[in-house]
Every structure is written in C-alpha cells, then in structure tokens.
C-alpha cells in the first residue's frame, strides 16, 4: 500500500484519537498540577434559623466565598506542582509505616490510595484466570452439545453479560443483604449467624464472584467463535495418533486459541482495573474501595459544594499508569508474536 493511501485511511481515526483521547489526557495531566478554588473572606454575619417559638439569630465571624460585582464567586487558580500526587501517595507516611514505629503492611493498607490499589489489583488478577478458565470450559461444553439446542443455550449463557453492571450488582446485593433470601438460606443450611455485609472479605468475595459471573460470557463467546475455526483434520489426526481429550486440549486447542486468550486477558485487565460499579452496587466503601472509586469520590461535591478536581486528575493519571504497567507484559507478548509471523 502506498504511504499516501495508508495515511488517507488512518487520518480520520488519528484525528479522532487526538481530539477524544490524547487531548483530554493532556488536559487531565495539566489539571493535576493546578489548583482552582474560590476565594474566601471572613465577615461578621448575622444568620437566623427557625425555632419553634421564635427565631434563633446569631452574629458570628465566619468564612464565606467572596463574590464579585455580578455575584459570581471569585475563582483563583495556581500552580501546585506535584502536591496532589504527594497527597495521594503520601511518601512520608509510607516511610513511617515501614520504619520501626510503623506496623508495616497493615498501616500501609489504612491509607486510602494503597487500600484502593490493593483491592483493585486483587480484583483484576484474581478474576482474570477464573474468567478465562470458566469461559473456556463453557465454550468447550457448548461446542460439544447437540447442534439443535446450541442457539438457545448460547443466548442463555450470554444473559449475564447483558445486565447493566450496577443493576446486576444491586440485585445480587439484595439477595444477600440483611435477611436477603440467600443469606437466610445460608443461615438455615449452616446454622450460623451469617451477615455478608458485616466484614470486608465477604463483600470482596461477592464482588469478585459477581465480576466473574458477569464477564465470563464475554470470554465464552470469543472462545466459542475461536473453536469454530479449529481445523477438523488436525483434531482427527490427533485422535488417530491416540491423543487423549486432555492432550488434544493442551496441544491443539489452547495453542490455537492463544491469541484470543491474550485478547480476552487484555480487555479484562483494562476493564477490571477500572472496577467501579461493584463498589457502588454493593455499597462497599466502608470496607473496600477501588482506584476508580477514589477518583469518583474526589469528583463528587463535598458538603461545601467543592469538587477536588486537582486530586481527581492526579488519581486518574495514576490509574492510567497502573493500567499501562499491568498491560505491558501482554502487549510485549503480542508484539513479539506478530513480529515472528510478519
């Protein structure tokens, strides 16, 4: 292909990627270095609140946002450098944790960012093998049932993937919270006082299982499509050579599906590193938070109506760095295999 034609083809997507991906990223990176805030003034102010018989009025000195002539708040912006990053990563606190005075890991995990990082990594890395493994098993199973029932079976298997993540998480939560029917069932079976939302690990278990249940169909459908492209001859010669089912799986099917497994792993890691819906759906923020939830929390106006945009930007940049680090091995692998072929 001529360079000109090639450029003509990719130019639109390059432009779109610059406008919708690169530019926002640069803006967020710059935003994490500047702090924008309203200017406050201290005034003596009389304020009255209703009582039952009369009014309680108090005069006191208090801070309020300064308004300009058009009564818009006066906003100022200044460069803060890496302050937002230091505030998140708390290097001084980390050093103290691992010094003689600290308690090591348990103190480290009391810091929001590291607690979120710990959960996010566990979430991404634990669900990955389960999703791939289950996806493969389901794909193999569906592939070996009668052709006539495969259609409805595939449809039913895909259902969990269609459910909106937050709604799905909420429904599972309602099954377990308080006297939810499944918790009640667990109590009846094991005769223990089970409470799934009273400690962190049970909630974490629910969140992990939910994500596996939710994304396995995606892995399944990709692998199932891959199974359709396996050369029947290779399988049959393997059978003739006396290879068992397991040997065929290991020597023929898995190598054939490998590029798809890498693909599913890439997508799954990217998705699960941004875990967010489960935290909201299972309202786990007292016990477990994720990096994406941390950003969300910074962006939610607090009770003074202020959003911590600077820290939210810094936390998004750190999430981005995390995803890149996590994906590097897989990307290198793909790149190498492409080069071998090319």
Interface ranges with other proteins (CB under 8 A)? 35, 37-40, 43, 45-57, 61-65, 67, 71-73, 76, 87, 109-110, 177-178, 195-200, 283, 285-287, 297, 300-306, 308, 310-311
Least spacing, CB of residue 71 vs other proteins, in Å: 4
DSSP bridge pairs for 60: 45
Please report how close the Cβ of residue 178 comes to other proteins at its closest, in angstroms: 6
To other proteins, the closest distance from the beta carbon of 271 in angstroms equals 25
Question: Per this entry, what is the length of the chain?
Answer: 342
- Least distance from C-beta 160 to other proteins, angstroms? 24
Q: For residues 207 and 123, is the Cβ–Cβ distance under 8 A?
A: yes
CA distance 55 to 304: 24
Question: Which of 56/228 has CB closer to other proteins?
Answer: 56
Q: Nearer to other proteins by C-beta: 54 or 152?
A: 54
Residues 6+ apart with CB under 8 A from 195: 183, 202
Which of residues 198 and 332 has its CB atom nearest to other proteins in the complex?
198
Q: Which tokens go with 105? A: 């890991």
Query: Of 76 and 236, which CB lies nearer to other proteins in the complex structure?
Result: 76
The residues, ordered by sequence, that sit 6+ positions from 54 with a Cβ below 8 Å of its Cβ are none
Comparison of 84 and 261: residue with beta carbon closer to other proteins:
84
Query: Token digits for 148?
Result: 């006539």
Q: How far is the CB of 11 from other proteins (least distance, A)?
A: 37
Rounded Cα distance, 258 and 254, in Å: 6
Please state whether 111 falls in left (phi above 0), alpha (psi between -120 and 50) or beta. Answer: beta
- From the list 301, 305, 155, 299, the residue with the least C-alpha distance to 224 is 155
């Amino acid at each position: 292909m001529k360079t000109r034609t090639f450029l003509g083809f990719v130019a639109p997507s390059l432009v779109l990627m610059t406008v919708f991906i690169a530019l926002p990223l640069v803006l967020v990176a710059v935003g994490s270095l500047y702090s924008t805030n309203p200017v406050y003034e201290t005034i003596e102010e009389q304020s009255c609140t209703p009582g039952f018989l009369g009014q309680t009025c108090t005069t006191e000195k208090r801070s309020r946002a300064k308004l300009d002539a058009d009564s818009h708040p006066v906003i100022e912006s200044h460069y803060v450098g890496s302050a937002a990053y230091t505030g998140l990563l708390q290097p001084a606190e980390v050093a103290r944790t691992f010094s003689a005075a600290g308690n090591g890991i348990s103190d480290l995990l009391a810091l929001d960012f590291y607690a979120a990082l710990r959960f996010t990594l566990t979430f991404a890395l634990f669900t990955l093998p389960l999703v791939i493994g289950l996806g493969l098993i389901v794909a193999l199973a569906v592939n070996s049932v009668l052709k006539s029932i495969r259609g409805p079976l595939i449809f039913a298997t895909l259902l969990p993937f269609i459910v909106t993540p937050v709604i799905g998480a909420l429904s599972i939560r309602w099954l377990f919270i308080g006297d939810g029917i499944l918790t009640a069932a667990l109590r009846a079976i094991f005769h223990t006082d089970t409470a799934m939302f009273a400690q962190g690990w049970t909630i974490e278990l629910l969140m992990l299982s939910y994500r596996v249940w939710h994304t396995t169909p995606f892995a399944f459908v990709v692998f199932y499509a891959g199974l359709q492209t396996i050369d029947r001859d290779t399988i049959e010669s393997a059978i003739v050579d006396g290879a068992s089912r397991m040997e065929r799986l290991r020597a023929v099917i898995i190598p054939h599906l490998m590029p798809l497994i890498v693909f599913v792993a890439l997508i799954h890691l990217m998705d699960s590193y941004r875990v967010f819906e489960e935290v909201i759906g299972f309202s786990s923020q007292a016990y477990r938070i994720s990096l994406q939830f941390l950003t969300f929390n910074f962006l939610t106006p607090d009770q003074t109506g202020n959003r911590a945009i600077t820290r939210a930007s810094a936390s998004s940049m750190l999430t981005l760095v995390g995803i890149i680090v996590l994906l590097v091995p897989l990307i290198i692998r793909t790149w190498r295999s492409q080069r071998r072929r090319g």
